[in-house]
Amino acid sequence: AQSVAQPEDQVNVAEGNPLTVKCTYSVSGNPYLFWYVQYPNRGLQFLLKYITGDNLVKGSYGFEAEFNKSQTSFHLKKPSALVSDSALYFCAVRDEMNRDDKIIFGKGTRLHILP
Amino acid sequence: EAGVTQSPTHLIKTRGQQVTLRCSPISGHTSVYWYQQALGLGLQFLLWYDEGEERNRGNFPPRFSGRQFPNYSSELNVNALELEDSALYLCASSRRSEAFFGQGTRLTVV
């Protein structure tokens, strides 16, 4: 069965600094990897995905993520953080090889951008 | 293109009652997922429907059930509500890879 881990409950970054939100995964086959953002009392918004191809994927709002197969990681990054980036971020994984592949989410990382 | 819509947005029920939550997927999406997000916690997988069939089920008691209709919309039913069922219930639809979420239904059980 697939699994995903977000080792940090909270990440604090000063505005203008680069940010990284960590994610590691485990699947039997090839992973489909996703990042979502959630603002208070709202649903999740899709940010970006990795299916195949270039290991660096770019998404919405200036976010990008790097797929690292050897480290089974898919960290979310942004070169310069904005206060408006403060939110709850979820990493998710889907196993391409598993017919019953549901999308599994990490527990979430709360990102605080300090002005 | 309309996104995933969920109804109602908020709901207050009494312990022991039954509730039905509804979800309309994005046009062309055949898969619907249901997740429970209790306060301060992550997303717990509830149910997955695809092409009208239940494909997978999370670790929830049988009083959580649902169905998917021929137009791919879906209902989540919860019987014999308990206080700990209070949560944000999120529906998502998918065609192949990523899922797109609705705004959720906030259920409060008193």
Residues of A in contact with B41 (CB under 8 A): 107
Residues B41, A107: C-beta atoms closer than 8 Å: yes
Which tens digits make up the pLDDT trace of A51-62?
988 899 999 999
Residues A103, B99: C-beta atoms closer than 8 Å: yes
Q: Is A86 exposed, middle or buried (0-12, 13-18, 19+ CB in 10 A)?
A: middle
Give the residue on A whose Cα is nearest the Cα of B32. A102
Mean pLDDT by 10 residues, chain B (110 residues): 91 98 96 91 91 93 97 97 96 90 96
| Residue A27: partners with Cβ closer than 8 Å, 6 or more residues away | A2, A93, A95, A96, A97, A98
Distance (Å) from the C-alpha of residue B81 to the closest C-alpha of chain A?
Answer: 22
* Alpha-carbon dihedral A70, A9, B6, B52, rounded to 10 degrees: 40
Which of A30, A32, A46, A103 is the best residue to mutate to test the B interface, defined by the most B CB atoms within 10 Å of its own CB?
A103
Which tens digits make up the pLDDT trace of A22-46?
999 998 888 999 999 999 878 899 9
| DSSP code of residue B71 | T
